[in-house]
Amino acid sequence: VSSQVQVTDNEIDLLLAKQASQGSAQIHIAHILIAVPQRSTQAEVDAAEQKAIGIHQQLQEGLSFAEAAITYSDDQYALNGGDLGWRPIDQVPTMFARQVQNMQSGDVSKPVRSPAGWHILMVVEKKAEQTAMVSQVEVRHILVRPSELVTDEEAEVTIRSLYTRIVDGEDFLTLAREYSDDTYSAPNGGSLGWMESDTYGAQIQGVIDSMQPGDVAPPFRSEAGWHVFRLDDRREVDKAQEHRRNQARDTIFARKAEETYELWLRQIRDEAYVEIRLQT
């Protein structure tokens, strides 16, 4: 069944866009509720407001939020210090989300009215969408390997000749396709694709780190042979985004696999039903 399941980049992009629109940031909130019953008189509403204002004043003067919640809050989380825990920002009630969106960790809101009563909110902590930025480089190279037929000195002469031709204006990609002994990259004009520079080891990383996009490094020797490197570009990549893409791919694959499996089972049952009918 799994061999029949295909996940496209467009499907992944759509799922990631949907997740982004729903908000991926999280917020840790505590809150105090001074309840106002539905059929309260205006005097009772005003009294509840004044009580909330008084509690807010005590908080400003140093009373701990947890102690205030335990002492005054009518909410079910009162004995937990009013702690509502971590919640995705999109799951916070709209009136609260508007209140806390510009608050920082440790900030306490002024009393906020809702149909349930008066609320005082504290942002315990905010957790932004995780990022993990890494530097990547796009490089090409030409490799000339010494062998039983080519001495190290001959390989060096060849690579230096190629370097001179590149500096004089010949096309790097064409020379890589014709002369490079790296069978993996040669057909692609010597392209090694986008990689983190430390992937290549300390020696090559040292060469790449000293280059600017468009630079061609002078020939150098590594364990693999003689190289000429060209740096095409640099970029910063969010590895967390790559992780999210992989998770999205897995999510879509699992859903499609389940749907395909259920379809397969239905087909098996239908075929079995037809076979039984034919036998009777």
pLDDT in tens, 168-188: 999 999 999 999 999 999 999
For residues 103-128, average pLDDT: 91
pLDDT at 91 over 80: no
For residues 238-259, average pLDDT: 78
Please tell me the distance from the alpha carbon of residue 46 to that of residue 21, in angstroms, as a whole number: 39
Domain boundaries, the chain: 1-24+130-280, 26-127
Asked whether the domain spanning 26-127 has the same topology as the one spanning 1-24+130-280, the reply is yes
pLDDT at 109 over 90: yes
pLDDT at 279 over 70: no
CB 100 within 8 A of CB 92: yes
CATH class of 26-127: alpha beta
Q: Would you tell me the crossing angle of helices 152-167 and 172-179 to the nearest 10 degrees?
A: 160
Give the model's confidence band at 274: pLDDT under 50 very low, under 70 low, under 90 confident, else very high: low
Residue labelled with tokens 């993996």: 184
pLDDT given for residue 147 in this prediction: 94
Give the model's confidence band at 129: pLDDT under 50 very low, under 70 low, under 90 confident, else very high: low
pLDDT given for residue 19 in this prediction: 60
pLDDT at 237 over 60: yes
pLDDT at 159 over 80: yes
pLDDT given for residue 280 in this prediction: 54
What is 1-24+130-280's CATH number? 3.10.50.40
User: What is the model's pTM?
Assistant: 0.49
Strand partners, 220: 227
pLDDT given for residue 271 in this prediction: 66
Q: Give the up-direction half-sphere exposure of residue 184: CA atoms within 13 A in the CB hemisphere.
A: 6
CB 149 within 8 A of CB 251: no
pLDDT in tens, 11-62: 888 877 766 655 557 789 999 999 998 888 999 999 999 999 999 999 999 9
For residues 149-160, average pLDDT: 97
In total, the chain counts a number of residues equal to 280
More confident residue, 172 or 250: 172
Q: What are phi and psi of 112, to 5 degrees?
A: -120, 130
| Pick from 140, 145, 171: nearest CA to 159 | 145
pLDDT in tens, 193-217: 999 888 888 999 999 999 999 999 9
pLDDT given for residue 225 in this prediction: 95
pLDDT given for residue 26 in this prediction: 79
pLDDT in tens, 218-230: 999 999 999 999 9
